[in-house]
């Protein structure tokens, strides 16, 4: 019965009526794919379903409903989900009443097609329609196929308190906005997640305070482009200059929001993702520099080091602009860790343009990077306008060069921490050896050190003795 507490209503405890009580024995298994926003959405889904008596389970065998929260970003992501759906057949054959649902970006992109092609699927729900899940579930339980893929101009789920899934009890995500208005030509996200809208800052602060009260020590503010966060009373994003005087007065931009969340407590670390080079202001960097508890780490995807390719990608910045933003970071926050996303083999990319990507990487020397081969996505602007003309073998070769260079830079960045002391927020046991603890420093690099008496959730000063490209290894130093 402990799940039937609706925390959305200012702590008021709602007891269930007998109907819901009967359903309370039901269990839902949720599996998430794709970006952090999807993992965060699954926690909203778990909360909505707990309102109608569904408890989450990590044991798929005992589930009455299985939901896959899916990603469409690259073809491979969709293939993985399709394979997963077919492996769910054995569960369905054991339990005819089992409901299988597809949530998230693939649900939005494929809509009814998914029900037709994947006969096992009973429910298809897009990212803005999760409030309708209880209705859709009861339709599916009555044996009807159920779909809701309506996108919204308003929905932010701001009033819903996520049920934390697979949580380490130390760090949590907070969604601050939804959708994306950018229309990068390669990207499916504007089609799957709809228009950009920002969440009420008060509800963001409430969520941060609630997490702090539950013992969490770190929050990550999430959005596809956090720098364009702008609260002006609700609804679709508007330019600041187009706001009425009244809206301007109550407006909150990302730099302001970041400061407000940092003020919740000096003991609550604040991170955010993803920043966009065209929108990242010096104001954001100055707020970062002025609060110790805002982590000194920026994920700033560049996608390509060549301005012509960036233009074809419709990214809204040039190589020079990107490098200027890097200079601003280094100047305002000298100790900042910087990571990036990059795409190899976008339409029409020449060898010389690929070399520009490598040379940009040499100039910046990122701490980490997420590196991808271009994957053409149906209905995107790139698919309609350009030919996906780089042979797979060339894409592969370019990606391998990018990865090799990045390994060198990650190692270089890790080595900068050698023989220095870092503050680490402990998240849990090290995966490789449970006599070691693992956490991250402010720059988001993983640090492992012998456990001694330290515990998850503690801030520990660790002296770094050794490192690999991705991990720092050290020893806790005594604190006064």
For ligand F3S, the binding residues in 30-49 under the rule CB under 6 A are 34-35, 37-38
Q: What minimum distance in Å lies between the beta carbon of 375 and ligand SF4? A: 13
Q: What minimum distance in Å lies between the beta carbon of 425 and ligand SF4? A: 28
Structure tokens at 252: 């909150």
Helices (H), 51-129: 75-87, 89-94, 104-110, 112-117
Taking CB under 6 A as the rule, which mask of x and - marks residues 8-47 in contact with ligand SAH?
----------------------------------------
Handedness of CA 463, 469, 470, 471 (dihedral sign): negative
Q: What minimum distance in Å lies between the beta carbon of 149 and ligand F3S? A: 13
Q: What minimum distance in Å lies between the beta carbon of 267 and ligand SAH? A: 30
Q: What minimum distance in Å lies between the beta carbon of 59 and ligand SF4? A: 34
Residue 215: Cβ-neighbour burial (10 angstroms; 0-12, 13-18, 19+) = exposed
Structure tokens at 290: 């002025």
Match 């992501």 to its residue by tokens: 77
CA distance 476 to 456: 14
Part of the chain binding ligand SAH (CB under 6 A), chosen from 162-170, 357-365, 371-379, 434-442: 371-379
Give the rounded distance of the alpha carbon of 143 from its chain centre. Answer: 34
Task: Indicate which of ligand SF4, ligand SAH, ligand F3S, none lies near residue 341 (CB less than 5 to 8 Å, by partner kind).
Answer: ligand SAH
Helices (H), 169-240: 189-193, 201-213
Cβ proximity to ligand F3S: between 73 and 123 the closer is 73
Position 439 contacts ligand F3S (CB under 6 A): no
CA distance 338 to 344: 19
Taking CB under 6 A as the rule, which mask of x and - marks residues 94-113 in contact with ligand F3S?
----------xx--------
Taking CB under 6 A as the rule, which mask of x and - marks residues 251-280 in contact with ligand SF4?
-------------------------x----
CA distance 221 to 201: 11
Task: Indicate which of ligand SAH, ligand F3S, ligand SF4, none lies near residue 34 (CB less than 5 to 8 Å, by partner kind).
Answer: ligand F3S
Position 192 contacts ligand F3S (CB under 6 A): yes
Size of the chain, expressed as the number of residues it contains:
480
157 and 197 Cβ atoms separated by less than 8 Å = no
Position 72 contacts ligand F3S (CB under 6 A): yes
Position 224 contacts ligand SF4 (CB under 6 A): yes
Cβ proximity to ligand SAH: between 33 and 374 the closer is 374
146-148 and 171-175 strand pairing: unpaired
Task: Indicate which of ligand SAH, ligand SF4, ligand F3S, none lies near residue 105 (CB less than 5 to 8 Å, by partner kind).
Answer: ligand F3S
Among 114, 188, 219, 288, binds ligand F3S (CB under 6 A): 188
Part of the chain binding ligand SF4 (CB under 6 A), chosen from 104-112, 182-190, 202-210, 427-435: 182-190
192, 348, 376, 379, 390 from 386: Cα distances, Å: 21, 8, 10, 12, 11
Position 182 contacts ligand SF4 (CB under 6 A): yes
CA-based nearest residue to 211, from 7, 445, 428: 7
DSSP 12: P
For ligand SF4, the binding residues in 371-390 under the rule CB under 6 A are none
First to last CA, the chain: 44
Residues 6 or more apart whose Cβ sits within 8 Å of residue 248? 232, 240
Match 């890790």 to its residue by tokens: 414
Task: Indicate which of ligand SF4, ligand SAH, ligand F3S, none lies near residue 190 (CB less than 5 to 8 Å, by partner kind).
Answer: ligand SF4
Binding stretches for ligand SF4 (CB under 6 A): 180, 182-184, 187, 189-190, 224-225, 276
């Amino acid at each position: 019965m402990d799940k039937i507490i609706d925390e959305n209503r200012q702590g008021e405890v709602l007891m269930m009526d007998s109907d819901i009580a009967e359903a309370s024995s039901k269990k839902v298994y949720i599996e998430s794919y794709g970006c952090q926003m999807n993992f965060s959405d699954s926690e909203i889904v778990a909360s909505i379903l707990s309102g109608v008596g569904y408890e989450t389970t990590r044991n798929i065998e005992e589930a009455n409903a299985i939901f896959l929260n899916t990603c469409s970003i690259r073809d491979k992501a969709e293939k993985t989900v399709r394979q997963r759906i077919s492996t769910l057949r054995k569960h369905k054959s054991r339990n005819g009443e089992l409901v299988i649902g597809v949530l998230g970006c693939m649900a939005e992109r494929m809509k009814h097609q998914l029900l037709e092609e994947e006969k096992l699927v009973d429910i298809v729900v897009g990212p803005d329609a999760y409030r309708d899940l209880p209705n859709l579930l009861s339709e599916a339980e009555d044996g009807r196929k159920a779909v809701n893929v309506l996108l919204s101009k308003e929905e932010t789920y701001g009033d819903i308190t996520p049920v934390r899934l697979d949580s380490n009890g130390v760090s949590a995500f907070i969604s601050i906005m939804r959708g994306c208005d950018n229309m990068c030509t390669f990207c499916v996200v504007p089609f799957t997640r709809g228009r950009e809208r920002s969440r009420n800052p008060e509800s963001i602060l409430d969520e941060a305070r609630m997490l702090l009260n539950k013992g969490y020590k770190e929050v990550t503010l999430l959005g596809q482009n956090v720098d364009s966060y702008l609260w002006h009373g609700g609804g679709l994003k508007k330019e600041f200059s187009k706001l009425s005087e009244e809206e301007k007065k109550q407006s909150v931009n990302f730099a302001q929001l970041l400061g407000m969340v940092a003020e919740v407590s000096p003991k609550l670390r604040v991170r955010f993702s993803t920043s966009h080079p065209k929108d990242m202001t010096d104001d954001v960097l100055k707020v970062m520099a002025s609060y110790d508890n805002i982590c000194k780490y920026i994920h700033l995807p560049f996608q390509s080091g060549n301005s012509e390719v960036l233009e074809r990608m419709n990214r809204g910045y040039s190589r020079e602009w990107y490098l200027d933003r890097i200079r601003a970071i280094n100047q305002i926050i000298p100790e900042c860790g910087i990571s990036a996303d990059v795409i190899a083999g976008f339409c029409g990319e020449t060898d010389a343009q690929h070399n520009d990507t490598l040379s940009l990487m040499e100039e910046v020397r990122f701490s980490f990077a997420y590196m991808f081969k271009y994957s053409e996505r149906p209905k995107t602007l790139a698919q309609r306008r350009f030919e996906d003309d780089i042979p797979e073998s060339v894409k592969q070769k370019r990606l391998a060069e990018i990865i090799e260079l990045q390994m060198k830079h990650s190692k270089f960045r890790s080595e900068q921490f050698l023989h220095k002391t870092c503050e680490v927020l402990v998240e849990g046991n090290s995966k490789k050896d449970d006599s070691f603890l693992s956490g991250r420093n402010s720059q988001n690099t993983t640090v492992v050190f012998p456990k001694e008496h330290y515990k998850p959730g503690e801030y520990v000063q660790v002296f770094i003795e050794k490192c690999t490209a991705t991990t720092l290894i050290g020893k806790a130093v005594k604190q006064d």
